[in-house]
């Protein structure tokens, strides 16, 4: 095993530890204030509902060139990707509109 491989696996481990800690620590801190957990749960449920709406309106059509190797895309996979893209577009638009609203609101005050 080369030094580069050892350092690469070490960096994978540090990334995994950082991801776990960044998810668990806010949950542990929010146990002192359960109302913050309700707000977090409402946000997660809202994004899930938005995804299922986007998933239901997305198409499951797959072009023949994407059905074969190396893509092997199925109609269900195509609909999932479409739902994710529509969800991303809607969330990006909402973020942009909220930035514009905030700036106008600060300019008026």
Instruction: Please give the model's pTM, rounded to 2 decimal places.
Output: 0.72
Indicate whether 1 pLDDT > 90.
Answer: no
Question: What percent helix, strand, coil does the chain show, rounded to 5?
Answer: 85, 0, 15
The stretch 36-45 carries a mean pLDDT of: 87
| pLDDT for position 3 | 84
pLDDT digits (tens, 9 = 90+) for 58-103: 999 998 888 888 888 899 999 999 999 999 999 999 999 999 999 9
Count of positions (residues) in the chain: 109
Compute the distance between CA of residue 99 and CA of residue 104 in angstroms, rounded to an integer: 9
Band the pLDDT of 18: cuts 50, 70, 90. very high
């Amino acid at each position: 095993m080369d030094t580069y491989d050892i350092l690469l696996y070490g960096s994978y481990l540090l990334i995994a530890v950082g991801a776990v800690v960044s998810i668990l620590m806010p949950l542990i801190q929010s146990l002192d204030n359960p109302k913050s957990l309700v707000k977090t749960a409402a946000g997660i449920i809202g994004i899930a509902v938005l995804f299922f709406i986007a998933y239901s309106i997305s198409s499951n059509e797959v072009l023949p060139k994407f059905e074969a190797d190396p893509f092997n895309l199925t109609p269900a996979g195509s609909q999932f990707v479409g739902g994710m893209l529509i969800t991303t577009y809607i969330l990006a638009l909402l973020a942009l509109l909220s930035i514009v609203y905030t700036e106008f609101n600060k300019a008026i005050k």
